[in-house]
């Protein structure tokens, strides 16, 4: 069953104004152990978890079931030291004995069955 909706934040705001009763729920994944806060919208097919996605054009939506077909993968080591500005990985604090660094990873989501999702307009 499709239960997670991605929509533009502006459309999301309008949808919840229409319903005028919503609550925050915890949406978690099993691997890796990360999670997102989503909003639950009561629809005729049951409760849908709504997540804001700025890359979805305004007026469109995507509905998926992330537990069945979606996988999060990394092309490199996870986690890794990130070096966005070319100043190397560690920055020394000149007034102390501490160092500053950025730790993170680059991940992509992969859909094993794209035909199981729905994209539409409203």
**Chain mean position to CA 97:** 37
Structural domain boundaries of the chain?
Answer: 4-121
Q: Are 21 and 47 in contact (CB under 8 A)?
A: no
Confidence of residue 58 (pLDDT cuts 50, 70, 90): very high
C-alpha distances in angstroms, 23 versus 41, 47, 73, 103?
8, 11, 30, 33
Residue 47 has pLDDT above 90, yes or no: no
**Residue 12 in 3-state DSSP?**
helix
Q: Are 13 and 68 in contact (CB under 8 A)?
A: no
pLDDT of residue 59: 93
Residue 57 has pLDDT above 90, yes or no: yes
- The tens digit of pLDDT for each residue in 1-40 reads 788 899 998 888 887 777 665 555 566 666 655 555 567 7
Q: How far apart are CA 70 and CA 51, in angstroms?
A: 15
The H-assigned helical ranges of the chain are 9-19, 66-69
Q: How far apart are CA 69 and CA 2, in angstroms?
A: 11
- The tens digit of pLDDT for each residue in 81-114 reads 777 666 666 777 788 888 777 788 888 888 888 8
């Amino acid at each position: 069953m499709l239960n997670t909706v991605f929509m533009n934040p502006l459309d999301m705001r309008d949808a919840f104004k229409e319903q005028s009763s919503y609550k925050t729920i915890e949406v978690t994944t099993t691997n890796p152990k990360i999670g997102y806060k989503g909003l639950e919208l009561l629809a005729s097919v049951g409760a849908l978890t709504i997540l804001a996605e700025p890359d979805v054009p305004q007026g469109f939506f995507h509905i998926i079931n992330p537990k069945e077909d979606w996988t999060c993968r990394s092309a490199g080591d996870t986690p890794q030291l990130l070096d966005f500005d070319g100043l190397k990985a560690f920055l020394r604090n000149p007034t102390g004995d501490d160092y500053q660094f950025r730790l993170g990873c680059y991940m992509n989501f992969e859909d094993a069955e794209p035909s199981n999702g729905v994209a539409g307009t409203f």
